[in-house]
Amino acid sequence: MRLQNKIALITGGARGIGFAIANALSREGATIAVADINGEGANAAAEKLNAAGGKAFSFSVDVAEQPSVLKTLNAVVAQCGRLDILINNAGVGGNTPFLDTPLELWNRIVSINLTGAFLVAQACARQMVEQGHGGKIINIASLSGQRGGNGRAAYGSAKAGLELLTKVMAVELSEHGINVNNIAPGAIETDMAATAHDAATRAAYNYLIPMVRYGMPEEIADAAVFLCSDEARYVQGHTLNVDGGFRTAGLMFGARKAPMVSA
């Protein structure tokens, strides 16, 4: 129960990595505010947490719209009394080649994954500063923001910006006792991956991952629990890759590294 009596807001918490983090923080004693653009999904997620013995509330939010962000934060504070933890997880994927990326798609991905993360983090940080008791902010970045990859012009740029934003936040918010860190997932076994990743994509990922498997949402959640706990009180402005060694790896060969796609 490392997070007993803490209030945690999780954006994009209705499913996938967001829900896995909500579940893990709930097991550690936190009260969970599940916020998602899918209000029905947020309701269902909160009901699951409550049925498992936790304490959770649901909220609808569009992170790309500042009025929606402020309304949601005010509702969370009114319901729960304060805010101790933010998991800045809401985002959308993108896999369009650079030459084919229309401005509309670029703007949508950046507005949600970077501007939206900024709006939520700024509003929540202001609340934490006003409370005067510090806090924890975890931004969910991505390996795609660290390495060049096919189709990641908009998504990768937004996540790279989020990683730098985290460093600036960490520097400026340290005086207020607020820890700000990133988690950068690699290939994770989510519903989106199950539908979007074909056999060739999976083979390509597994070839580049030393552990030769996709991660599970619960493995991202375990990292989030650590960064939200007092055990990480001196971790500041750090990006924790949870990617099976993907970013670390160089040349790899051997029995486990067969050709990516057979002829």
Q: What angle separates helix 116-131 from helix 66-80, to the nearest 10 degrees?
A: 40
Q: In this structure, is residue 257 part of a structural domain?
A: no
pLDDT at residue 263 in the model = 43
Return per-residue pLDDT of the chain as tens, 263 residues. 999 999 999 999 999 999 999 999 999 999 999 999 999 999 999 999 999 999 999 999 999 999 999 999 999 999 999 999 999 999 998 889 999 999 999 999 999 999 999 999 999 999 999 999 999 999 999 999 999 988 999 999 999 999 999 999 999 999 999 999 999 999 999 887 888 788 988 988 999 999 999 999 999 999 999 999 999 999 999 999 999 999 998 888 877 776 555 44
Is 142 within the bounds of a domain?
Answer: yes
Residue 50's identity, in one-letter code, is N
pLDDT at 245: 95
Backbone angles phi, psi at 159, to 5 degrees: -70, -35
CA separation for the pair 61, 31 (Å, rounded): 18
Domain assignment present for residue 198? The answer is no
Q: Is residue 176 part of a domain?
A: yes
Asked if residues 91 and 17 have their Cβ atoms less than 8 Å apart, the reply is no
**What's the domain range around 117?**
7-188+216-242
In a domain, 42, yes or no: yes
Beta bridge partners of 36: 60
Spatial CA neighbour of 118 closest among 159, 174, 176:
159
Report the CATH number at residue 81: 3.40.50.720
pLDDT at 260: 54
Q: Is residue 194 part of a domain?
A: no
Convert the pLDDT of each residue in 143-188 to its tens digit: 999 999 889 999 999 999 999 999 999 999 999 999 999 999 999 9
Residue type, 104: E
| Inter-residue contact 6 to 229 (CB < 8 Å) | no
* pTM of the predicted model as reported, rounded to 2 decimal places: 0.94
User: Is 91 within a domain?
Assistant: yes
Structural domain contains residue 55: yes
Active site residues: 155
Measured in Å, how far apart are the chain's first and last C-alpha atoms?
52
**Number of structural domains the chain divides into:** 1
